[in-house]
Structure formats: structure tokens, C-alpha cells
Amino acid sequence: MDILHLTYFIEVAKQLSFTKAARELHVSQPSISKMVRNLEEELKVTLIDRSARRIKLTDAGQALYERGLKIVDSLKNVTSDLDDLTSGRKGSIRLGIPPMVETSFFAIAIGEFKRKFPNIVIDLVEIGSRAVEEMVEDGTLDIGVVVLPVKNKAVFSLFAFVKDPIWLIVHPEHRLAGREVVSITDLEEEPIVLFRKDFALHDHIVEKCREHGFVPRVLCESSQWDFMAEIVVAKLGVALLPKVVCDKIGDGVKALPIAEEISPWHLAIVWKKDTYLSFAAREWLKYAACLFGVEVKLD
């Protein structure tokens, strides 16, 4: 039994007339009669009693009519749901974002996206950039925000959207607070608060220190820039953060540029190549690309 046979039968049952059903479905009466007859032969039951002047449903016909209405209605709902998915009105996205990124750029963006697509659920996962890369690669995340460069570039499609220098924050009474600019070598004896190892900035800072002949004295590691700022405010150490984050901290710290460039906070949105992207994920990528004024090709 296919859906076409069932649809024709339901219309005949509803109209209790082959002629009226044919008119509603825009087919010939012989065609609809043949369809219903084929359905009866397939099911090996009589669905319509044709013995009287006006046709009526048999008990089997009544049962099929009632169940058939639910089947056709369910199919319409599936079609509607698929239409919502393909038009981007429904769905879900697992999005990985380092904590600093959400604070600095994405809180408002996600809010605007949710207003535009209220039925798309965004499952936000806050982790370091390296962990985001791994989870996008293994399919745990649909889309991620990472710090460039990525380790396995061949795996990802991406577009970059911001590039920000790394600055030093110190307490206003710190010995370096009066400087206009500091050198990376000024930090050799300083206790430094670093991001955890799953953050790309951790490696960038450590590598830059080693280039200048020393290993940084790591006071502690954290995933939260506000905690790092609190450590600096408490005069326990110094920290290196993207300038856009330094600007948000406000009173209590002094932000200073560093003479030697540390690999900048160069952010990109990534997704795995040669894999299925849901319609919701595609809408997010198009939205984000438009937000940051870049072009994106979705194969």
C-alpha cells in the first residue's frame, strides 16, 4: 500500500462518492475507482460497499479510513518539519567556543541569531581552542571557534573574522606599570597566570618566552580571563590577554603592549570538510559570515 492509494481511498471515504472524490483530486473517475480496487485486492478486504445506490464504508473500510487519516496527517507533519529544517527555521547546533570569545564577540551575536531563528537550539560548549579543534574533527561539535593556526588545517573549512594583539596586564603598582611598552624578557622573573594547555594562547606564550631564552614561571593556569584578572588585581602575578579582553577589565589593572609580537589572537570559525552540515548549521555559518563581513562557500 502506497500513500497515493491511501490518499485516493481517504477522499472517496470522505466524500462517499467516486465522482466527487475524482473532482477533488483532479483525476478521472475510472482512475480513482481502479486505485481503490487495487487497494482492496492488495489488502484482501472489501473497503467500500457498492451494492446500494449510495456507496458506504465496510467495517474494514472505516478502520482504514480512521487510521489512514492519522497516517496522512503524520506525513504532512513530517513534510512540514523537513521544510522547517531545510529553510533553517528549526534544528540544533553544537557550537564550541573558548570562554573569551563568547564574552567578547558572541553573546550579542547568539542573541540576535536566536531572535531570528527562535526554534533553532544552540548547544554552547565552552572549552579551549585546541579542544574545540579536536571535537569538531571527531564530530562531537558541528562548528567551532578557534585560534589560528589550527593544527590540522586539511581537515577543516574555515573563515577568519578577527585579529587582535596580545597585551600584558599588571597591577597599577607593579614595577612595569609606568612603562609605555614592555619586552617579553621583562617577564622572565614574573609569576604568570596562563590559560590551560587546551587553549592555543598557552602554547603561543610559552613558545615566545622560550624564543627569548627562558621558561615562564607559571603561577597557575585557568580557562577564565576574569579569574586571571583577579589574580593580577590581587598582586599575585601578571597575565597576557588579547587586547579586546584587556579593554573590558577596566579599573584595577594596567594594560601594556608588548614589543615582541606574540602570535595574535587570530580567530576563525571552523567546520569539518567533506561532512554533512545540518540546515541549522548552514544558517549559523551564513549568519556569522554576514556578521563579520566575509564570504563563505558551503559545498
Domains of the chain: 3-86 (1.10.10.10), 91-163+266-291 (3.40.190.10), 166-263 (3.40.190.290)
- Residue 218's DSSP bridge partners are 192
Residue 221: the pLDDT is 94
Residue 77: the pLDDT is 63
For every one of its 299 residues, what pLDDT tens digit does the chain have, with 9 covering 90 and above?
678 888 888 989 999 999 898 888 888 888 889 989 998 899 899 999 988 788 999 999 899 999 888 888 777 666 655 665 566 677 889 999 988 776 556 777 888 888 888 988 999 898 888 899 999 999 899 999 998 888 888 899 999 888 889 999 999 999 999 999 999 999 999 999 999 888 888 998 999 999 999 999 999 999 888 899 999 999 999 999 999 889 888 788 999 999 998 888 888 999 999 888 888 888 899 998 888 888 888 76
Of 248, 246, 267, residue with least CA distance to 257: 246
Q: Which three cell numbers stand for residue 128?
A: 579551549
Distance CA 225, CA 239 (A): 9
Distance CA 210, CA 207 (A): 5
23, with CB counted inside 10 A (0-12, 13-18, 19+), is middle
Distance CA 218, CA 110 (A): 34
